Structure 1
Amino acid sequence: MLPTIQVPESEVEISAMRAQGAGGQNVNKVSSAIHLRFHIPHSSLPADVKVRLLALRDSRINRDGAIVIKAQSHRSQELNRTEAFARLNELVNSVARPPKTRHATNPTFGSRQRRLESKRKHSETKALRGNRHI
């Protein structure tokens, strides 16, 4: 079962702004886009989750450790707000489970045989390229 973490709304800064792009009068008049900021270091998330979030190479995480999400695909502010929170929770839950530790294994007998055979063939090919003294 996957652990799910819900980010508390009290730890998120939300501001409404006008959406960009085409859309006519509605876009020009209504502040329906949502700009969501979540500061990872100051949050109540578990320490290991914070470390994994800060280690992510994601363009939405800035140098200060804040996740910045902009949602503007819907006409209504409430739908954009819901979408922004869903994206934030999805990002946080993507690192909620610790990565599996890798256990070293030995190569199989067949893979060793194939490797040696390819080396033999390569060696023969190279030997045929040499100067022939007749």
Structure 2
Amino acid sequence: MPGFDRDSFVIPADALEERFITASGPGGQNVNKVATAVQLRIDATRLGLPLYAYRKLRALAGSRMTADGVLLILAQNYRTQDANRQDARARLMDLLEKAHQRDARRIPTKPGKAAKARRVDAKKARSSVKQGRGRVSFD
């Protein structure tokens, strides 16, 4: 899987679990009565991700992923269950898309001879300035 195609990527049904809970935020009295917020639990180990994508997903998710590899997404921005469900799934797809983007390989570099010489010269100059800051003796 070289890239990530949102349209063709299928999330297995056994990897998802949706739970509706009461939300905080806008909605007036409705917020206290109706469970509109969606808590989406995704078992990341069942998604069939390549190893690099799984590792990056763990890093991106941070505290939203448990030690078991379950990703928790809470969506409560909207006043309806359906809108929150779509929002949670869209955020999941965004995370998966970012997880599939490989980081550029870093090539370690070393400073050149001229840069080392400039650094040593600057240190010597600073040292001589500090040497001149001694106590003044009146002999």
TM-score interval (norm. to shorter): 0.7 to 0.9
Please give the residue correspondences for 1:14-53 in structure 2 after superposition, counting only pairs within 5 Å.
Answer: 14-21=18-25, 23-53=27-57
Asked whether the 8 Å contact 2:12–2:46 carries over to 1, the reply is no
In the superposition, relative to structure 1, how do residues 25 and 125 fare at CA in structure 2: closer, same or farther (>3 Å)?
Answer: same
Asked whether the 8 Å contact 2:58–2:65 carries over to 1, the reply is yes
In the superposition, relative to structure 1, how do residues 39 and 75 fare at CA in structure 2: closer, same or farther (>3 Å)?
Answer: same
Q: Structure 2 CA distance, aligned partners of 1:115 and 1:107?
A: 10
Out of 57, 61, 64, which is 2:65 matched to? 61
2:110 — aligned with what?
Answer: 106
The residue identity in structure 1 corresponding to 2:133 is R
Q: Structure 2 CA distance, aligned partners of 1:55 and 1:28?
A: 35
Deviation at 1:121, TM superposition (A): 2.1
Q: Give the TM-score normalised by the residue count of structure 1.
A: 0.79
2:100 — aligned with what?
Answer: 96
Q: Structure 2 CA distance, aligned partners of 1:27 and 1:9?
A: 31
In the superposition, relative to structure 1, how do residues 92 and 19 fare at CA in structure 2: closer, same or farther (>3 Å)?
Answer: same
1:8 — aligned with what?
Answer: 11
Q: Percent identity?
A: 35
Q: Secondary structure at the match of 1:8?
A: coil
Is 2:126 the partner of 1:122? yes
Q: Secondary structure at the match of 1:83?
A: helix
Long gaps (5+) in structure 2: none
In the superposition, relative to structure 1, how do residues 57 and 126 fare at CA in structure 2: closer, same or farther (>3 Å)?
Answer: farther
Superposed CA deviations along residues 13-53 of structure 1, whole A, max 9, x for unmatched, are 11112112453221122221100001112322223212332
Q: Structure 2 CA distance, aligned partners of 1:14 and 1:38?
A: 9
Deviation at 1:9, TM superposition (A): 5.7
Provide the aligned C-alpha RMSD in A.
2.6
Aligned residues: 133
Segments ≥4 residues shifted beyond 6 Å: none
In the superposition, relative to structure 1, how do residues 53 and 38 fare at CA in structure 2: closer, same or farther (>3 Å)?
Answer: same
